[in-house]
Chain A
Amino acid sequence: AQSVAQPEDQVNVAEGNPLTVKCTYSVSGNPYLFWYVQYPNRGLQFLLKYITGDNLVKGSYGFEAEFNKSQTSFHLKKPSALVSDSALYFCAVRDSMNYGGATNKLIFGTGTLLAVQP
């Protein structure tokens, strides 16, 4: 079965320190992976994606993610955290079990709350 796991409900980091939000996946075939951020009472905002190519993907707001095929992971990273990065982060994988892939359905993780302390 296809799935995405975010093993940490919450990550705490001090402002200025590097941050990592973990994500592992299980899919059939090549994974298409995504990260989203959600601020309180807002919709999800797309941060970045991995489809193919370089394992290090750069996205919005200084975030990047590293695709690791052998570990089936796609961890979100940022070299220096800001208080304004505090939000709920979702990892997602494209559901490849669709005929022709026309639906572009995504399977989301349960989310990780990032808290950056000043």
Chain B
Amino acid sequence: SQTIHQWPATLVQPVGSPLSLECTVEGTSNPNLYWYRQAAGRGLQLLFYSVGIGQISSEVPQNLSASRPQDRQFILSSKKLLLSDSGFYLCAWSAGRSYEQYFGPGTRLTVT
């Protein structure tokens, strides 16, 4: 069966520090991968998606970047965090014609 992992689970970082969040998927090949941010426990904002290694699409201009160095690995990064980057970051995957996305457990990021 497929599983998706995210780490760390929680992170507290000072403003101006770098960021690296990692997401990995097991049990499937060539998945579509997604990074979302959820602010204030409500709406989901799609940040990036990827349909293959090295292929990244950005949905909104922002302080963040994403990379996909391996088929089942998706990384969210920032060189210098802003207070507004605080939130709950969710990684998700989908594959084939099932269309639904499956989400990881999330990373709670607090920028202080």
- Residues of A near any B CB (own CB < 8 A): 32, 34, 36, 40-46, 49, 51, 88, 90, 94, 102-106, 108, 110-111
* Distance in angstroms between the alpha carbons of A78 and B108 in the assembled complex: 31
Which chain A residues border B88 with CB–CB below 8 Å? 41
Q: Do the beta carbons of A46 and B100 come within 8 Å of each other?
A: yes
Q: Is the interface of B mostly helix, strand, loop or mixed?
A: strand
Q: Do the beta carbons of B43 and A108 come within 8 Å of each other?
A: yes
Q: Do the beta carbons of A34 and B103 come within 8 Å of each other?
A: no
Nearest first, the 10 A-B pairs at minimum CB distance are: A43-B103, A104-B94, A44-B103, A108-B44, A43-B106, A43-B105, A110-B43, A46-B100, A43-B104, A104-B32
- Residues of B near any A CB (own CB < 8 A): 6, 32, 34, 41-44, 46, 49, 51, 57, 88, 90, 92, 94, 99-106, 108
Which chain A residues border B99 with CB–CB below 8 Å? 32, 34, 49, 51, 94, 104
* Distance in angstroms between the alpha carbons of A94 and B6 in the assembled complex: 24
Q: List 14 A-B contacts (CB under 8 A).
A: A34-B99, A36-B103, A40-B41, A43-B104, A44-B44, A49-B99, A49-B100, A88-B42, A102-B51, A103-B51, A103-B57, A108-B43, A108-B44, A111-B42
From residue A42, how far is it (CB to closest CB) to chain B in Å? 6
Q: Do the beta carbons of B106 and A42 come within 8 Å of each other?
A: yes
* Distance in angstroms between the alpha carbons of A94 and B98 in the assembled complex: 11
Which chain B residues border A103 with CB–CB below 8 Å? 32, 49, 51, 57
Q: Do the beta carbons of A105 and B49 come within 8 Å of each other?
A: yes
